[in-house]
Amino acid sequence: MSTYASHVVHGPEHGSVRDDVTVTPDAPVRAGARAAATRRQTAFRRVVYLVSILLMAVPLVSLVEYSVRFPLTGAVNLDAWRKIFAGRTNEYTTLDNLWLGLTNSLIMCLITVVIMLVLLLPTMVWVRLSGKKFSRFVEFVCLLPLTIPAVVLVVGLTPIYRVISTQILNSSAIWLSFAYVILVLPFSYRAMDAGLRAIDLKTLVEAARSFGASWLTVLLKVIVPNIKGALVSASFLSCAVVLGEFTLARLLAKDNLQTALFVINLSDSQVAAAMSFLALALTTILLVVMDLIMNRAPKAPKKLDASKTYRAPKKRIKDTTR
């Protein structure tokens, strides 16, 4: 399947070269012109590719360089990195804020992912099983946070969090997770939607139910294992959102990783640069791993359901004309 996909989807480069050889019953002169055009295009693409990689690398390299080069004298030292890898010690108390923010952010990753999964998975499964009635509505609501600016949300969340921190819970930063669940909805919705689309949910559920499985069993033992890749991907994306979140925390005056970076930049900008590099690089790795998991996932149900393989080409044509 994956090789099939890469042939169809990435036709322009690999396909055209190969097709020039195989599918050219007409004029050989034109084939020569076509080959020249293909060469020009390949060159163009390579240049664009290289330039964009270079432009993307520059900020990262600059961050690393900045973190090891003392701004006033230009002397190179690894103090910033030493401070970070020393962890939370009494030696560098100036970084306490950073560790607090990082701890908060990691805890919030966990809470956000748990609430997101508990809220979204049953809802999405239920919507699919109960007909089309609410599917548009759920999709609309889930994608809404992409368009409603976080800074607008925060204006309305201020009174809500005033109630939460004084009357229901406390003023701890970790309760920001409730609002973060909203921010991660678009990303996790898309990931889970792709996962659920790839399996024959109705048949799976009906089969399990007819064997007497309870709804909880169906959810945990039948659906979850089948869309594991999508769930992992939804969780990773949620973590990426939470680790990078700044607006809500800043405006609601809570400490998380980004607000801590913001503050530490004023006193120790080298540590902020080193930490930014780490966060950017780790989040990127997180997403690459997610991509690998996600692309491996669809193979499992395909083995079970041969009809999917046959339906695949039709679907792709539909996708391309959209």
CB of 128 to another protein, least distance (A): 9
Work out how close the CB of 138 gets to another protein at its nearest, in angstroms, rounded to a whole number.
7
Tell me how far, at minimum, the Cβ of 262 lies from another protein, in Å: 6
Contact 260, 97 (CB under 8 A): yes
DSSP 70: -
Closer residue to another protein, CB minimum distance, 226 or 268? 268
User: What is the closest distance, in whole angstroms, from the C-beta atom of residue 181 to another protein in the complex?
Assistant: 7
At 31, which helix (H) or strand (E)?
A: helix 28-68
Residues 6+ positions from 235 with CB-CB distance below 8 Å: 113, 116, 117, 188
Instruction: State the DSSP code for 167.
Output: I
Give me the least distance between CB of 90 and another protein, in Å please.
27
Q: How far is the CB of 284 from another protein (least distance, A)?
A: 5
Contact 116, 188 (CB under 8 A): yes
> Residues 81, 144: contact at Cβ < 8 Å?
no
> Contact 125/194 with Cβ under 8 angstroms?
no
Of the pair 89, 284, the CB lying nearest another protein is at: 284
| CB of 227 or CB of 279, closer to another protein | 279
Q: Please list, in sequence order, all residues whose beta carbon lies within 8 angstroms of the beta carbon of residue 287, skipping any fewer than 6 positions away.
A: 236, 237, 240
Dihedral (C-alpha) 210, 211, 212, 217: value to the nearest 10 degrees? Answer: -110
Residue type, 184: V
In the bound state with another protein, the residue whose beta carbon lies nearer, of 26 and 93, is: 26
Residue number, 227 or 273, with CB nearest to another protein: 273
Nearer to another protein, 89 or 130 (CB): 130
Rounded to a whole number of angstroms, the minimum distance from the CB of residue 132 to another protein is 11
Cβ atoms of 257 and 101 within 8 Å: the answer is yes
Q: In sequence order, what are the residues at sequence separation of 6 or more whose Cβ sits closer than 8 angstroms to the Cβ of residue 26?
A: none
Q: How far is it, in rounded angstroms, from Cα 84 to Cα 92?
A: 9
Nearer to another protein by Cβ, of 89 and 160: the residue is: 160
